[in-house]
Amino acid sequence: MIPAEARRKLIAVVGPRGCLDRPEDLALYEYDGGVDKARPEMVVFPQSTEDVVSIVSISREYNIPAVGRGAGTGLSGGAIPRAGGLMIGFARMNRILEIDLANERAVLQPGVVNLDITVAVQEQHYFYAPDPSSQRACTIGGNVSENAGGPHTLAYGVTTNHVSGLEVVLADGTVMTTGGKQQDSPGYDLTGLLTGSEGTMALFTKVIVRLIRQPEMVKTCLAIYSAVDDCADTVAEITSRGITPVAVEMLDGVMLRMVEEATHAGYPMDAAAVLLIELEGLREGVEEQLEQVRGVCQKCGAREFRVARSAEERDLLWKGRKNAFGAVGRVSPSYYVQDGVVPRTKVAPTLRVIQQVSEKYGLTISNIFHAGDGNLHPIILFDHHQPDELKKARQAGDEILEHCISAGGSITGEHGVGMEKMELMGHLFDDDSLAMIAAFKMLFDPECRLNPGKVLPTGRGCVEIRQPALAPSTTMY
């Protein structure tokens, strides 16, 4: 419970219009894009680093748990306030502070929307590479917290590969900076450590990101298959030839039909699967790679190979991919998105396992994923009005992730661990490794006030320390 005196102090920092505490307002902040929910007691919206320092200092004075939140598009419960308490929303810290093209850097507040970074520099022929499907809404602070990826990570890497410096507020109110505009900094890589820490170690108040010059040529193509295994095998064959597209996305038949009905992007309704492949670089190199990729796809059984003939056709194909989750919402009352990773050579057998899990639980599972990275996104369709369907969807998701671990992969490629996958961390890491992760958490947040009850499995993290304060975890449905 947030004491009345603490509420008055918080209002003094952000102003009466900079906070929410009515139940009907708080209900909008009790969930993200996943399936869990827990309600904060108060939401405050700082406008500066100084505001964040004051807010964190008040939370420390009154021992109030605090959770940072960007746009709420996360898919693992990372911004869910399990312990109730205070939510710090960064929507008002949304300014691009500096564009430095000479050094190919941008300095941003955490509430800047991902796509707005590219929009700000595209006329100068630059762009920001990490492009989650939610890039029109998600913010850079949340991207850094979750180490977000996107379709183009095969060539460009995930968020951590594009963050060169941070300004953060620690749990005791200390302001710390890491890195800078330079390519590398001496000493420990604190920027890398904090990127992907899911709000459990620090709150980001400034982010320095890398900007990239637009390529001379971009070619987007669609390979169409009558067999899922042929489609999956193509990915390993492309990379074994030393070809690195900037994106290789795979949609199975269930997914592409939902996407096509919603977006009319030109996907074939009768295909078993498709690959959306993008190449970019110097004109001569792209043209040569395009023919190589065409040959590989045909050798692996593609029944058709299309190349977008214009920017409009390219944008339409990507519209289908980027709007896929919304397309699912037209078909199923609810869905549960997973985020496992397997080696590229294990994609085909893993898809067969996913089909077996689908049949076992009687749930439709569609697949859309970053095939070049082996980063799978099985989407489990269920009806929350039916008893136990959410429970079955969770069990199906856990079985898929356990298989990913057994195949030499991971439980997350870009969505984070959050509260959704924390119990599976014990399957992925041994006791000594979990103890080291916990030690880092306690080093930065010894009182366990920042986003407690996340990442580490029960018995390893702050969930026990803060058990009396923890709000009951319920589901969205």
**Residue 35 dihedral angles phi and psi, to the nearest 5°:** -120, 5
Domain match, 279 and 358 both: no
Using a 10 angstrom Cβ sphere, with 0-12 exposed, 13-18 middle and 19 or more buried, the burial of residue 264 is exposed
Inside any domain, residue 314: yes
Domain match, 68 and 26 both: yes
Inside any domain, residue 474: no
Domain match, 386 and 355 both: yes
Inside any domain, residue 38: yes
Radius of gyration of the chain (CA): 22
Can you give the CATH number for the domain in which 20 is found?
3.30.43.10
Has residue 255 got a pLDDT over 80?
A: yes
Is the Cβ–Cβ distance between 338 and 397 less than 8 Å? yes
Domain match, 315 and 228 both: yes
Q: What is the DSSP letter of 5?
A: H
Domain match, 221 and 312 both: yes
Distance between CA atoms of 338 and 358, rounded to whole angstroms?
Answer: 13
Average pLDDT over residues 276-297: 97
Has residue 5 got a pLDDT over 90?
A: yes
pLDDT > 90: percent of the chain: 91
The helix or strand, by DSSP H or E, that contains position 441, with its residue range, turns out to be helix 431-444
Has residue 469 got a pLDDT over 70?
A: no
Can you give the CATH number for the domain in which 383 is found?
3.30.70.2740
Q: What is the pTM of this model?
A: 0.94
Strand 86-89 with 66-69, pairing: parallel
Can you give the CATH number for the domain in which 237 is found?
3.30.70.2190
What confidence tier does 96 reach under pLDDT thresholds 50, 70, 90? very high
Inside any domain, residue 69: yes
Using a 10 angstrom Cβ sphere, with 0-12 exposed, 13-18 middle and 19 or more buried, the burial of residue 298 is middle
What confidence tier does 476 reach under pLDDT thresholds 50, 70, 90? very low
Say which residues have a Cβ less than 8 Å from residue 41's Cβ, sequence separation at least 6. 1, 2, 21, 26, 84, 85, 86
Has residue 462 got a pLDDT over 80?
A: no
392-399 contacts: CB < 8 A, separation 24 or more?
392/361, 392/362, 392/363, 393/35, 393/336, 393/361, 393/363, 394/35, 394/336, 395/361, 396/357, 396/358, 396/360, 396/361, 396/363, 396/365, 397/336, 397/338, 398/424, 399/357, 399/360
| 3-state class (DSSP) for residue 228 | helix
Is the Cβ–Cβ distance between 323 and 259 less than 8 Å? yes
* CB-CB neighbours of 192 under 10 Å: 14
Distance between CA atoms of 406 and 402, rounded to whole angstroms?
Answer: 6
Has residue 221 got a pLDDT over 90?
A: yes
Residue-wise pLDDT for 375-390, tens only, equals 999 999 999 899 899 9
Strand 163-169 with 203-210, pairing: antiparallel
Has residue 474 got a pLDDT over 80?
A: no
Which phi-psi region, left, alpha or beta, contains residue 334 (left: φ > 0; alpha: ψ -120 to 50)? Answer: beta
pLDDT for 463 equals: 52
Average pLDDT over residues 17-32: 97
Say which residues have a Cβ less than 8 Å from residue 261's Cβ, sequence separation at least 6. 327, 330
| 3-state class (DSSP) for residue 337 | strand
pLDDT for 420 equals: 93
Domain match, 288 and 359 both: no
Inside any domain, residue 137: no
Distance between CA atoms of 100 and 105, rounded to whole angstroms?
Answer: 5
| 3-state class (DSSP) for residue 413 | coil
Total domains, the chain: 3
Residue-wise pLDDT for 293-347, tens only, equals 999 999 999 999 999 999 999 999 999 898 888 899 889 989 999 999 999 999 9
pLDDT for 184 equals: 83
What confidence tier does 183 reach under pLDDT thresholds 50, 70, 90? confident
Question: 């079955």: which residue's tokens?
Answer: 392
Domain match, 344 and 403 both: yes
Domain match, 314 and 351 both: no
Has residue 467 got a pLDDT over 60?
A: no
Q: Could you tell me how many helices (H) and strands (E) the chain has, helices first?
A: 17, 20
What confidence tier does 472 reach under pLDDT thresholds 50, 70, 90? very low
CA distances from 41 to 20, 79, 86 (A): 9, 14, 6
The range of the structural domain enclosing residue 234 comes to: 217-326
Distance between CA atoms of 301 and 233, rounded to whole angstroms?
Answer: 10
Strand 163-169 with 175-179, pairing: antiparallel
Residues in the chain: 477
Inside any domain, residue 164: no
Has residue 471 got a pLDDT over 90?
A: no
Average pLDDT over residues 142-161: 96
Domain match, 9 and 86 both: yes
Has residue 477 got a pLDDT over 60?
A: no
From 91, 109, 135, the end of a domain falls on: 91
Distance between CA atoms of 194 and 192, rounded to whole angstroms?
Answer: 6
- Token digits for 368? 């859309």
pLDDT for 387 equals: 86
The mean of the pLDDT values for the chain is 94
Domain match, 225 and 288 both: yes
Inside any domain, residue 9: yes
Has residue 93 got a pLDDT over 90?
A: yes
CA distances from 117 to 91, 142, 210, 230 (A): 15, 14, 10, 38
From 385, 414, 443, the end of a domain falls on: 414
From 43, 58, 91, the end of a domain falls on: 91
Inside any domain, residue 292: yes
Residue-wise pLDDT for 390-443, tens only, equals 999 999 999 999 999 999 999 999 999 999 999 999 999 999 999 999 999 999
Domain match, 244 and 317 both: yes
| 3-state class (DSSP) for residue 427 | helix
Domain match, 270 and 342 both: no
Taking alpha carbons only, the member of 441, 468, 469 closest to residue 454 is 441
State the DSSP string of 25-43.
HHGGGSB-SSSEE---SEE
Residue-wise pLDDT for 194-219, tens only, equals 999 999 999 999 999 999 999 999 99
Q: How far is CA 325 from the centre of its chain?
A: 13
253-256 contacts: CB < 8 A, separation 24 or more?
253/228, 254/364, 254/365, 254/366, 254/367, 255/324, 255/328, 255/366, 255/367, 255/368, 255/379, 256/320
